[in-house]
Structure 1
Amino acid sequence: MRKFGTILTGILAAACILAGCGAAQKTPAETESMVSMQETEAENADTQEETAAAESIGTEAETTAAETAEPEGETADAETAASAESEAAGCLTAGAYSYHLETKTQSWDDASGQEACSVSLEYPVFEGGTDAENAMNAFYQEWAADKLDAWETGEDPLVTDALEIRESGADIEGMPPFSDEYSVTGVTAVQGVISVLQENYCYTGGVHGMPGRENHIFRETDGKETTLPDILPLSEEEVNELVREQFLTRIEEHPEDGYFPEAADAVKEEMDFISQSYLTQEGVVFYARPYELGPYAAGYIEVTLTWEQLGL
């Protein structure tokens, strides 16, 4: 029996070898190695999928950001274009108010047909259509008409003087015609009012003309003209004293500005600084005209009182 078992075992082993059983069997180490390789391959596949997904999300985010940024850029371009178009059309703003500038001109010739005098009047035209804006527009239409009428009638002697000097036989060779030109240099909405500053340059012969200023203040509520004292809590005397102190301080601290020797005395004697002022967002600017405190070359000499200094 033992011998038969040995023979049978040998036969079975030979049969297994012939059937390829030895090639199919693997050791435990080989099995573990294959499992590890399969797990690694699976992990690599998962990593590749995650990377691809992340790249896809990133691409989508970039695309979305680009699509979002494009309309913003288009909006900014549109706003810039609209602003430029508005500016090109002459539309200006002061606070919530839109306006444009208009100009009336007129000239007069002497007997020989040569121009003796010309005038130019620039003024604002408010565009909102409110009662207050219509009232301000009516004011400036009347303002321009009154100016032209004064020149025509001789109430303002600019035109009559220009015609007379040319007809008098005086030597005026090379002398330009007389002129008066007004331009709007500031429109400010502040403290419940609208301030319109106009500057003019009047030439009546000689080396140069003379500059001038007009400032009109209107209530925002109804567009009617008002005055600086009406909008300030301080009295006129208090305002004048504050301005006087400012001018005296400037003269003392800045002698290099070339003031006349009697400038400080002129300031001390002046009783009305309010009539020569205009409004800004920061406060009120008070000024002395050329030749009042210094030479022509010094131009306007100005001091500013803030709204806080003026009690507002």
Structure 2
Amino acid sequence: MYDHPRGPRGAASHPQDELRGRVLRAWDAFLAGLGEAPEPTPALAALGDWPEDRFLARLLTEARSAAEGPAHGLAAPGAAPGAAPGPPDEGAARTAARGPVAEGPAQVPSPPAPHGAVAAAEPRRLPPPSAADLRSALRRARDTTAEVLDRLARPESAALAAARTGSAYGPLPLLTQVHAIPFQLALALPRTATAGEPLQDAACAALLDVLGALAFRRGLRATAAAHTTDGRGWWFRADGEGWTLAPAPGGDLPGPEARTEVLLGVAAGRCSVPTLLARRELRLRRIPQLLALTPLLDDLPVSIPLPRAVTGLLGRLAF
């Protein structure tokens, strides 16, 4: 397993204006798809910027602490200090923190203490948010994301952008986590809403970027792609130096192939991989090469549907 990349860091190595534009276009498409009066759901509430829980502010604090240490970037699984979960999996506590629509008041945990510490404060209670409050919180989160991206684009912030921060996948560079936000936006979008092309594209890029980071951290030399029949696919290549991320060039790279909305539907747990394969709405290219990614199963939480669905299927094919 490797510590921190000496070479490229996926999307974090892209031009900053390109990365910023992709993430913010995804946010704008997400907000447009929700409309003016979104129904407050736990998944949506978990994405808002609330006074009681400002996720990106906590990530910045964590990244500053990590950047001051002897190393930054990626660490092997288990090597990072205990930290708050990142965008890919907010967790039940943060879902409750941001106002689920279940009956009764929501429990709001206090922000976690810095690296390695355990927050001992008792949670306090808040009522579920109104549609207007939710919309405002989501808009604040979008604007905060823009501010963070602007800050990380400064030359003096290079170490901060590369600093490792805790996530549901294990430690990831801060800028990788910010780039992963569109994936969570796509998962949270209600079935009745329409995910615009910018959101679908950014979510696909985020997914492949995180998988590339995990492959690098595992020491895998691997290449994989998400092939989309509507031309919005992405691919990564990981080696001993780091990982690269780019739009899928076509050809026959290993990876799943389907419409972007189908891939995101699987990621949201709304589709069955075996059923899609049987209907030929999803196919896997170059399965033997894809089997190289099965060690990633050890790094993926059960609650991360698409990577586990694909790598889990590959694991079954291997035996």
Q: TM-score, normalised by structure 1?
A: 0.26
Structure having the larger proportion of residues in strand: 1
Larger-Rg structure: 1
Structure ranking higher on relative contact order (CA contacts 8 Å, 6+ apart): 2
TM-score (norm 2): 0.26
